[in-house]
Amino acid sequence: MTASHAKVFDEVVSVCVIGEMGNQLVGRMKNKWLKYRSPVRLSTPLVVSGVSLNLRNGEKKSTRLYSFRDDAGRFKVFLDVQAEEGFDFVKYEDTEAADEGDVILF
């Protein structure tokens, strides 16, 4: 494997790892929301990389941007949450969810 192939491979693996971490985080959030018996529809996390990217969303009021930076670089997380007017979370203690890590679906 050449140095340029290794660099591309490392970038692809990094994107896959970031995507999988996002997927696991979203799965945990959905599991926590089960106690609220709310209809939660989540999309698969999407990893985008590049220079001078512009992401457009028709409902900008619902999108939040979070920026992070460390020694490895910086990244941004866009979170888009939409709910019907008057929506409220009501917690039901009698609803059980699987403990994190107990359910693996393929």
What does the domain layout of the chain look like in residue ranges?
Answer: 1-46+57-106
What is the pLDDT averaged over residues 27-39?
A: 79
pLDDT classification of 103: cutoffs 50, 70, 90: low
Percent helix, percent strand, percent coil in the chain, to nearest 5 = 35, 15, 50
What is the pLDDT averaged over residues 52-65?
A: 71
Query: Cα 79 to the chain's mean position, in Å?
Result: 8
Average pLDDT, the chain: 76
Q: Is the pLDDT of residue 58 over 80?
A: no
Q: pTM of the predicted model, to two decimals?
A: 0.57
pLDDT computed for residue 105 by the predictor: 63
pLDDT computed for residue 62 by the predictor: 75
Q: How many CA atoms lie within 13 A of 97 on its CB side?
A: 17
Which residues neighbour 30 within 8 Å (Cβ) at sequence distance 6 or greater?
40, 42
Q: Is the pLDDT of residue 99 over 80?
A: no
